[in-house]
Amino acid sequence: MELHSVLRFLHVVSFAAWFGSVLASLFLLKTLEPKLTGADEKAAEEYSALLRKYVKLETKVADAGVIGVILSGILLALLYHGWTLWVYVKSALVVLQIALTLGYIVRAIQPLKYPCMKAEFGRWYRLFGISLTMFALVLLCSFFLL
Q: Return the pLDDT at 146.
A: 59
d(CA 123, CA 112): 9
- Express as a percent the part of the chain with pLDDT over 70: 99
Q: For the segment 5-64, what is each residue's pLDDT rounded down to a tens digit? A: 999 999 999 999 999 999 999 999 999 999 999 889 999 999 999 999 999 999 999 999
Label residue 120 left, alpha or beta by phi (over 0 means left) and psi (-120 to 50 means alpha): alpha
User: Across the chain, what does the average pLDDT equal?
Assistant: 94
- Cα–Cα distance between 1 and 135 in angstroms, integer? 29
What's the 3-state SS for 53-82? HHHHHHHHHHHHHHHHHHHHHHHHHHHHHC
Return the percentage of the chain with pLDDT > 90, whole number.
Answer: 87
Which pTM does this prediction carry? Answer: 0.91
Interacting residues of 72 by C-beta distance below 8 A, sequence separation 6+: 7, 8, 10, 11, 14
